[in-house]
Amino acid sequence: MGDGRLRGVRWLFRSRSEIAVDIDEEIAFHLEMRTGALMREGLTRPAAEAAARREFGDVGDLRRDLRRRDQRVQRRLRVAVWWDELRQDVRISTRSLLRTPGFTVAALGTLAVGIGAAVATFTVVNAVVLRPLPYEEPDRLVRLSPGQNFNIMMAERLEAGARTLSAVTGIGQWGLVLTGAGDAVQLGAQVVEPEFFAVFTVRPAHGRAFREDEREAATSDVVVLSDALWRARFGGDPSVIGRRIDLDGYGHRSREVIGVMPPDFAPPLENPAHPVDLWIPLTYTGGRTVATDSSWYVNNIVGRMHAGVQVSDAARDVRATMERIREETSRVAEDAVRQSGAAGLLDSLVSDTRRMLWTVLGAVGLVVLLASANLANLLLARGERRREELAARAALGGTRTRIVRELVTESGLLAGAGAVLGVLLARTVLQLLRVTESSGLPRTADLSPDARVLLFAIGVTCGSLLLFGLLPALRATAGDLRPALGPGSRVRGQSRAGRRVGSLLIGAEVALAMVLVTGAGLLIASFRSLRSVDPGMDTRDVLAVTVAPSPTEYSDVRAVQFHDELIARLSQLPDVATVGAIHLLPFSGGNWSFPYLADGHAPPVNEPLPSASFRVVTASYFDALDIRLIAGRAFDTRDVADGAPVGIINRSLANELWPDQDAVGRVIRLFGDSPFTVVGVVDDVRQHGLDTEPRPEIYRPLTQFRLATMTLMLETERDPEALATLVRSVVRSIDDDVPVVEARPLEEALNQSLAQRRFFLGVLTTFGCVALLLGAVGIYGVMTYTASSRVHEFGVRMALGASDRDVLRSAVAAGFLPVGAGLAAGTAAAFATSRLLDGLLYGVGPHDPAILGTAALVLGGVAAAASWIPARRFSRVEPMTALRAD
Amino acid sequence: MDLIKGTLDMLILRTLAWEPMHGYGISQWIRERTSGALHVQDAALYQALRRLEERDLVAAEWGVSENNRRARYYRLTSSGRKTLTREASEWRRYAAAVFQVLEPLERGA
């Protein structure tokens, strides 16, 4: 298409009508010439014209056809010319970038960091918050909430009352022990109703779903396997369907496999720490009402709305049902009716983290702005340096548009390469971070970029390109370029407007960095004060081992015997000091909470009973974890199965029930009807997490509240992790079929409960450091340029008697005003935005003056260093050298 | 005699191998060279010219005709010249092959 340019601009930009005229003219010319020739052969004019037309064929058809073709050729030509010029621009820009490798590396690095951080963050935000749930029409899925503890009958009433839902199911989590298919193992099960499959519009890939009659306890001994479990434990053999397997728990010792879920089915509400391996039918005992049912229901209720129904309609149904139940029974608190309702399933899953994630995305926005400002700075300095070159080109006939276009191409090239590098960086960072493990965020297992991430990456790139690319290009070519060519032009140094833009950018960078550094500082301070919180127990050198003996095999007193024997044997291991057990691992998020009525307290009128956390422990538990006994005694051999029921309460509950009085000897009734005597009071422990205030708690001895699954705490004198293998073999020596669910240091469980905090802390601290670095580089760049352009001035002043120090002072002072203004603006901005971090702060206010001060000091120091180094370099020049530097 | 499909393009390229020509000139030249034996409809000729232009084998420019009229001149591009050389030799081989088959029949007649 090289010919395109030869034909000139007019030919290229022929309009439609011009094309039509040209075609008509060509055809007319042909017909006239042929007519003339025929007339010379002796025909009359009319005869000749007719013959010419006949030979020619259909003129109208041809005219239309040629117009279409010419227009197409025209378009192609235009694209070709545009492409040609672009290639030329790219070639020139590439050459010019390669000539200045220092600048190019700095620019690409800045961009890659900015875009990389933004893309990585957005990938996570997208995965957690934006990506729809992997079910059919996920917007129609809602989670119902009664606004309080609820029992199965209340759940049933809610389900029955929700007329806006086409299907609704309870979903509970349960642990079942599988034996006879490889090593004994505890599996995670979702306890669901037959409607589960309709709610999530899923059908087992093999076999069938639950039938209505499998709600009944007697016929509920069926199970649907996950695809992963089916392959891992049953070799993917379809004949397993119809077979009974040894699956102990939730009322049955064995179950018939009736189906296998499709491989791509993601279990809803799955906790990454407890993967779902199977589904079993939810059963309930008949003949109960909301008022008499004492089975506390810790499940979720999820439903599918009819098409066109709003979440608010479903919420109204729930509130109406709760209102009706409250009229019948005191089991519903007044508050609960107000707090009951429904939320979109996705909303309910990510509501905790959503705000945090958007805050982080906001922070990353600041990083991108900083990177853009930095780049604008670099380009501005480069532009000033290139004024001479550009002036020469303008003098040689380059139009301003053409030169701007070339500079923009240069920025575009940088942006494109920076974006590619940034996306690669984001991928690497996300892979290295192992986000799911390190953050505990839901839905982060799959972080592959989708169209939305791609669009975001393009958007960020274009946005920053606009910010950093256009301004310097316009600046570089602004005004009259010709003076730049005149003799001694360098002496005049940087233009005043150029200096002003530089100052503005320094100010903006300092302000942005101030906000980020303050945020990071607040989080670091929070984390430190959180780590210094006393959990109330000694978590060091403790191995936590969860064992799950079959609840039918080890029912009732046999469970006590098993744990007694296990504790006795483990205590004899070398280096093991004390062994105790509790039924829920602290810091793991699991909780049992029971309503109670304390003696001497009147039952609440028109309200449900208060509730307290409930834990079953062995006698040595408090000793093993050094939990302080405040009053009375710990559990001991007196507390036998058929002895007087006893319990221990924590300080919070004692203070709440009997402030300033002795709690020992009092009686508390669980559920209002099952009494025990308080024999001791222990200190509060933060077993729900370091950042959660202790709640009222009740402990009962294992001998009197018998459970099969317990977590043993081994207080040891050596590395707890090294002990794990030994512990497993001891468990196996007692019973091969008892699975060890997990064995890990208690400290690790504590750390994991802080994972999300640590993750956000790490992310924002990284942003803070990047901000400091970018800010420093930016200031350094501008100051270097400003100082270098004043070398001549410095020379003059030193020749006139100014000292090194005077000159140095004046060079550094140039940076003071913008840095100071930036710090002030940044402090104000930090003050206004740090409230967004509220959810992550602990022990520090969002406006902690010490932290704001420290951040300002650090930033000021970095800024001072970044402006002092170049200032010193250029003020040390010999006066005569400086004066000759033209 | 009607044209065998595909030959028109080659005839045009051959015509333009001499010098740039306007559409009428090409039509005239083919008529004269074949003594009117080949019947080329002019509309088809112009369509073929546009086709060749789109394939970048010929290029068009406005010029002034022998009788001082503005006329659209077509010339061979370098890739058009290459195509002509290649297709001409293919045609010669093809024609030779066809003749070899036909020869005995003509002798017998």
Q: Which amino acid is at A773?
A: L
CA distances (Å), A377 to each of A110, A350, A371, A781, A785, in order? 11, 39, 10, 7, 10
List A127's β-bridge partners, or say none: none
Residues of B in contact with A27 (CB under 8 A): 46
- Give me the pLDDT at residue A793, please: 80
CA distances (Å), A350 to each of A128, A343, A353, A356, in order? 7, 11, 5, 10
Query: Among A198-202, A334-338, A411-415, A829-833, which stretch is predicted with the lowest mean pLDDT?
Result: A334-338
Taking residue A389's Cβ as centre, other Cβ atoms within 10 Å add up to 14
Burial class of residue A61 (count of CB atoms within 10 Å of its CB; 0-12, 13-18, 19+): exposed
- Closest-CA residue in chain A for B40? A55
- Give me the pLDDT at residue B109, please: 42
- Closest-CA residue in chain B for A63? B43
ipTM: 0.88
Tokens of A267: 């279990």
Which is it for strands A185-192 and A278-281: parallel, antiparallel or unpaired? Answer: parallel
- Give me the pLDDT at residue A3, please: 40
Residues of A in contact with B41 (CB under 8 A): 55-57
CA-based radius of gyration for chain A: 39
Q: How far is CA A469 from the centre of its chain?
A: 30
Mean pLDDT for the stretch of residues A91-113: 89
List A677's β-bridge partners, or say none: A646, A667
Please check the confidence at residue A157 and state whether its pLDDT lies above 50. Answer: yes
- Closest-CA residue in chain B for A3? B59
Q: CB–CB of A604/A586 below 8 Å? A: no
- Give me the pLDDT at residue A498, please: 66
- Give me the pLDDT at residue A329, please: 75
- Give me the pLDDT at residue A339, please: 79
pLDDT in tens, A385-433: 777 777 777 777 767 777 777 777 888 899 999 999 999 999 999 888 8
Mean pLDDT for the stretch of residues A568-596: 90
pLDDT in tens, A349-360: 887 788 888 888
pLDDT in tens, B85-95: 998 898 889 88
Q: Does the CB of A20 have a partner CB in chain B at under 8 Å? A: no
Nearest alpha-carbon partner for B8 in B36, B33, B38: B38
3-state SS track over A364-432: HHHHHHHHHHHHHHHHHHHHHHHHHHHHHHHHCCCCHHHHHHHHHHHHHHHHHHHHHHHHHHHHHHHHH
Please name the residue that has the structure tokens 């509240």.
Answer: A705
> Going by C-beta distance under 8 Å and a sequence separation of 6 or more, which residues neighbour residue A36?
A48
In a 3-state reduction of DSSP, which class is residue A878? coil
Query: Among A137-141, A294-298, B74-78, which stretch is predicted with the lowest mean pLDDT?
Result: A294-298
- Give me the pLDDT at residue A277, please: 94
CB distance A3–B42 less than 8 Å? no
Collect all residues from B whose CB is shorter than 8 A from any CB in A.
22-24, 27-28, 41-44, 46-47, 50-51, 53-54, 56, 59, 61-62, 65, 69-72, 77
**Mutation site for B-interface testing, chosen from A5, A23, A29, A73 by largest number of B Cβ within 10 Å:** A29
CB distance A66–B41 less than 8 Å? no
CB distance A3–B23 less than 8 Å? no
- Give me the pLDDT at residue A736, please: 87
Residues of A in contact with B77 (CB under 8 A): 3
- Give me the pLDDT at residue A584, please: 92
Looking at CA atoms only, how far is residue B54 from chain A in angstroms? 6
Please check the confidence at residue A153 and state whether its pLDDT lies above 90. Answer: no
- Give me the pLDDT at residue B105, please: 59
Nearest alpha-carbon partner for A877 in A807, A813, A815, A809: A807
Please name the residue that has the structure tokens 């010193």.
Answer: A872
Mean pLDDT for the stretch of residues A112-127: 92
Please check the confidence at residue A507 and state whether its pLDDT lies above 50. Answer: yes
- Give me the pLDDT at residue A479, please: 60
Band (A254; pLDDT cuts 50, 70, 90): very high
Q: Compute the 3-state secondary structure of chain A and give helix, strand, coil in percent, each to the nearest 5.
A: 55, 15, 30
Band (A492; pLDDT cuts 50, 70, 90): very low
- Give me the pLDDT at residue A591, please: 83
> Going by C-beta distance under 8 Å and a sequence separation of 6 or more, which residues neighbour residue A623?
A578, A580, A634
CA–CA dist A255, A405 (Å, integer): 73
Angle at the Cα of A733 from the Cα atoms of A728 and A734, rounded to 5 degrees = 105
Which is it for strands A252-260 and A222-225: parallel, antiparallel or unpaired? Answer: parallel
Band (A489; pLDDT cuts 50, 70, 90): very low
* Per-residue DSSP letter, A271: B
Q: Dihedral, CA atoms, B10, B14, B20, B26, nearest 10 degrees?
A: -70
Mean pLDDT, rounded, of chain A: 86
Q: CB–CB of A155/A318 below 8 Å? A: no
CA–CA dist A383, A376 (Å, integer): 10
Nearest alpha-carbon partner for A153 in A340, A342, A294, A327: A294
Of the candidates B43, B44, B54, the beta carbon closest to that of A73 is on B54
- Give me the pLDDT at residue A488, please: 46
CA–CA dist A80, A815 (Å, integer): 49
CB distance A29–B22 less than 8 Å? yes
Highest mean pLDDT among A673-687, A801-815, B40-54: A673-687
- Give me the pLDDT at residue A7, please: 44
Band (A293; pLDDT cuts 50, 70, 90): low
Mean pLDDT for the stretch of residues B13-17: 91
pLDDT in tens, A824-863: 999 999 988 888 888 788 888 888 999 999 999 999 998 8
Mean pLDDT for the stretch of residues A308-322: 87
Mean pLDDT for the stretch of residues A722-746: 91
CB distance A26–B53 less than 8 Å? no
Band (A880; pLDDT cuts 50, 70, 90): low
Q: What is this structure's pTM?
A: 0.75
CB distance B54–A33 less than 8 Å? no
* Per-residue DSSP letter, A761: H
Mean pLDDT for the stretch of residues A5-19: 62
In a 3-state reduction of DSSP, which class is residue A775? helix
Please name the residue that has the structure tokens 């095999």.
Answer: A553
Q: CB–CB of B60/B73 below 8 Å? A: yes
Please check the confidence at residue A885 and state whether its pLDDT lies above 70. Answer: no
Of the candidates A7, A30, A72, the beta carbon closest to that of B61 is on A7
CA–CA dist A706, A556 (Å, integer): 6
Q: Between A and B, how many CB-CB pairs are < 8 A? A: 63
CB distance A26–B50 less than 8 Å? no
Residues of B in contact with A26 (CB under 8 A): 22-23, 46, 71-72
Q: How far is CA A600 from the centre of its chain?
A: 49
3-state SS track over chain B: CCCCCCHHHHHHHHHHCCCCEEHHHHHHHHHHHCCCCCCCCHHHHHHHHHHHHHCCCEEEEEEECCCCCEEEEEEECHHHHHHHHHHHHHHHHHHHHHHHHHHHHHHHC
- Give me the pLDDT at residue A781, please: 80
CA-based radius of gyration for chain B: 16
Tokens of A111: 């961009």
**Mutation site for A-interface testing, chosen from B8, B47, B50 by largest number of A Cβ within 10 Å:** B50
Q: Computed from CA positions of residues A393, A396, A399, A402, in that sequence, does the dihedral angle turn out positive or negative?
A: negative
Looking at CA atoms only, how far is residue B98 from chain A in angstroms? 30
Looking at CA atoms only, how far is residue B24 from chain A in angstroms? 5
3-state SS track over B11-22: HHHHHHCCCCEE
Which is it for strands A629-632 and A165-179: parallel, antiparallel or unpaired? Answer: unpaired
Looking at CA atoms only, how far is residue B28 from chain A in angstroms? 9
Please check the confidence at residue A291 and state whether its pLDDT lies above 80. Answer: no
CB distance B23–A30 less than 8 Å? yes
CB distance B54–A62 less than 8 Å? no
Of the candidates A30, A61, A65, the beta carbon closest to that of B24 is on A30
